Homo-oligomer: A and B are copies of this chain.
């Protein structure tokens, strides 16, 4: 049997980002934490942590962490059956895409978390990285736009989010006086989430435009909306994120009827107890609009 005290030390060091703080959390000295990590590495015959460029698990450490988190979830089930055990509430580590997090996510899971006494450890990632984290066992579930299945995980479709090309009326009057034309696309500053953001390209392709265009890069969902609201550019945004500025007339679509539908999928480990199953049921009940 593994010594779970060692795994707990590893998980805590990674969660709080340091040996001294992990000691504070577990009521141990920093040196006791170091000894536990060392003991784990001796047993495993290889390092579980790297220090540079920042504290992180090695692939082997990640495997151990994955296993530890699954055991915690199973212990939690046991704690419900045997309440006198007083099993601590686990923190559920989940990768979520930023647009969901700033729109429907919190209201969808709030009751669940309070009822089940669950704490969340949210990681903000877009699809490829989120799924990689799931595969590596770094997160227990991943909410993203990819339906690519991961071995050992289930994939459940949750619906779609509609993205509209939004900007201020003044911006549109200035840069799109004749609507979405090639010459407008060529000089109107767009706002793009990151180099891998395909929404802007998909939108332009709808109008047969594949040429260069000026753009700001802003990898933060709400900041993205703020740049558009300040008149700096236009960008593809989930309608549910901009309902208020739209109602106030601050943001409008520059091409009504040309929304892009982005599907959302929920990936989660099988065989990790029923907590994730119940969270999945909660998410299935959400009606994305």
Contacts and interface: CB of A to CB of B under 8 A. Distances in A.
Interface stretch (A113-121, A149-157, A177-185): A113-121
Nearest to A219: B124
Contacts of A102: 220, 222-223, 226
Contacts of A122: 216-220, 223
A79 interface: no
B120 A220 contact: no
Interface in A108-147: 109-110, 113-114, 119-124
Query: Chain A interface secondary structure, helix, strand, loop or mixed?
Result: mixed
B214 A105 contact: no
B17 A232 contact: no
Nearest to A174: B114
A66 interface: no
A256 interface: no
Nearest to A216: B120
A215 interface: yes
B107 A215 contact: no
Contacts of A217: 91, 120-122
A212 interface: yes
Contacts of A214: 89, 119
Interface residues of A, number: 48
A227 B124 contact: no
A227 B106 contact: yes
A94 to B, nearest CB: 10
Report how many copies the assembly holds: 2
A160 interface: no
A243 to B, nearest CB: 13
A101 interface: yes
Given A122-B216, A212-B25, A216-B119, A223 B17 contact: no
Interface in A15-31: 15-18, 21, 25
B195 A124 contact: no
A259 interface: no
Contacts of A71: none
A253 interface: no
Nearest to A112: B232
B121 A216 contact: yes
Interface string A31-74: 00000000000000000000000000000000000000000000
A159 interface: no
Interface string A220-251: 11110011011110000000000010000000
Contacts of A103: 226
A206 interface: no
9 contacts: A17-B195, A101-B218, A102-B222, A107-B226, A110-B230, A114-B231, A123-B219, A220-B220, A222-B222
